[in-house]
Amino acid sequence: MIIRTLFFASYKDIAGSDALDIELPEGALVSDLVSQLRACGDCWNDLPASPVAAVNREYSPLSTSLAHGDEVAFIPPVSGG
Amino acid sequence: MIIRTLFFASYKDIAGSDALDIELPEGALVSDLVSQLRACGDCWNDLPASPVAAVNREYSPLSTSLAHGDEVAFIPPVSGG
Amino acid sequence: MQSLQCSITDAIIDPAAVLAGTSSDNDGAVVLFLGVVRDHNDDRAVSHLEYEAYTAMAEAELRKVGQEARDRFDVGTVRIVHRIGRLEIGEVSVAISVASPHRAAAYESSRYIIEELKKRVPIWKREGYLEGERVWLAGGTK
Amino acid sequence: MQSLQCSITDAIIDPAAVLAGTSSDNDGAVVLFLGVVRDHNDDRAVSHLEYEAYTAMAEAELRKVGQEARDRFDVGTVRIVHRIGRLEIGEVSVAISVASPHRAAAYESSRYIIEELKKRVPIWKREGYLEGERVWLAGGTK
């Protein structure tokens, strides 16, 4: 399945992109997406092992299971206001 | 000596005027001014025996002694804002 | 260019004018408080309000309150404007703007000013009710 | 006509427009909070800020925060506008207006909204320093 993966602020600098379509096996969790990204090495190691994530624009635990077409965003510490 | 005496809001209704020049003996205190006014009877009895007062635009105790030309205001409970 | 500006006016209060130029380059937060005429008080239907002030003393007392806020909190420019005369429902009776480097001080000083204003500043409000009566209020409202 | 209006914008925020029409006849108080770009942070001279948002989620999260404020406090119309893009010193980054029958609820709900916004709403700020460096800030400022 394909997961639309979004990166913001400092995580965008890590990813070198603001959005990537990542292929994952059926039944994968958000934590699997994180592991797969960090396994790419290089600056991907700068992505925290347990980043804050949102699935379909809702804060969601890393144990959330994903479905084809889901939108996952990794949320660096926010600094709005 | 002559004391300029100001009345606001409900006290103006009691005094029937927003300002009166009151003659008082030298050395009189604000409390003497109050007593003299209340002695006029009728609605003057509605003026509290110990009203909040300002002398020359500063909140002042009733024990404040007055001088010719002073401006005394009696301040009903305020309700601005 | 921090300053303290306090006035009593019989003109309509324009919130944008009260805000204009209040924040300096050092300020990160501005809090504007507006008091607005409500259509009821304690379950009575209000048609309008009349405000009266001991203007010279009220301006001096507003200035004291503003200065106390500046002494207690880390704030920049403070502006306080209170209207007098007849006010209709929805019109602004008082506007208080405070700029500060940090938001906590902006909120706290704004609140300090309105609470002290309601306790001490010689201004009085008479409510006109829909049925025609007019009554001077004694003491502050919430 | 109480409502909850939340938006992310790349246009200059006009405080008067944020205030316009926020108070109903039932409201006695309006509190407007403005976040303003300061010329320094932690002793470093700031030349400008760049704000980025996860816009769709940020608007949804602002709406949740606003709804929580309405559930907790007796408030009428709530408007929250956050700007993104490049902001110069003195420009408004966020405006929050709250109308309420009573001032305590207006102050407290305004404060609730800005504190929650800074904790939860997916918006990020990058400071540009006078010497040229640009750094993403992590976590809220005071």
pTM of the model: 0.95
Percent residues over pLDDT 90 in chain D: 87
Of the pLDDT bands very low, low, confident and very high (cuts 50, 70, 90), residue A30 is: very high
Please give the structure tokens belonging to residue C141.
């409202």
The number of CA neighbours under 13 Å toward the Cβ of C115 is: 10
Residues of D in contact with C40 (CB under 8 A): 26
The reply to whether C136 touches chain B by the CB within 8 Å rule is yes
ipTM for the predicted complex: 0.94
C72-106 pLDDT, tens digit per residue, is 999 999 999 999 999 999 999 999 999 999 999 99
A44-48, A63-67, B45-49, C43-47: which range is least confident on average? Answer: C43-47
Size of interface A-D (CB pairs under 8 A): 76
Closest chain B CA to residue C35: B81
Q: Would the CB atoms of A73 and D123 count as touching at under 8 Å?
A: no
A36-45, C110-119, D52-61: which range is least confident on average? Answer: A36-45
Of the pLDDT bands very low, low, confident and very high (cuts 50, 70, 90), residue D42 is: confident
> From CA A50, how far away is CA A58, in angstroms rounded?
16
- Pick from D35, D120, D124: which is nearest to A8 by CB? D124
Per-residue model confidence (pLDDT) at position C43: 84
Per-residue model confidence (pLDDT) at position C131: 86
Per-residue model confidence (pLDDT) at position C1: 56
Residues of B in contact with C136 (CB under 8 A): 9-10, 13, 76, 79
Kindly state the average pLDDT of the residues B66-73: 98
Of the pLDDT bands very low, low, confident and very high (cuts 50, 70, 90), residue D132 is: confident
Instruction: Please report the residues numbered 89 through 128 in chain D whose beta carbons come closer than 8 angstroms to any beta carbon of chain A.
Output: 93-94, 114, 117-126
Of the pLDDT bands very low, low, confident and very high (cuts 50, 70, 90), residue A17 is: very high
Percent residues over pLDDT 90 in chain B: 96
Could you identify the residue written with the tokens 């404020």? D69
Per-residue model confidence (pLDDT) at position C138: 81
How far does the CA of residue C109 sit from the closest CA of chain D (Å)?
A: 11
What angle do helix axes D103-120 and D55-72 make, rounded to 10 degrees?
A: 150
Per-residue model confidence (pLDDT) at position B42: 86
Per-residue model confidence (pLDDT) at position D1: 56
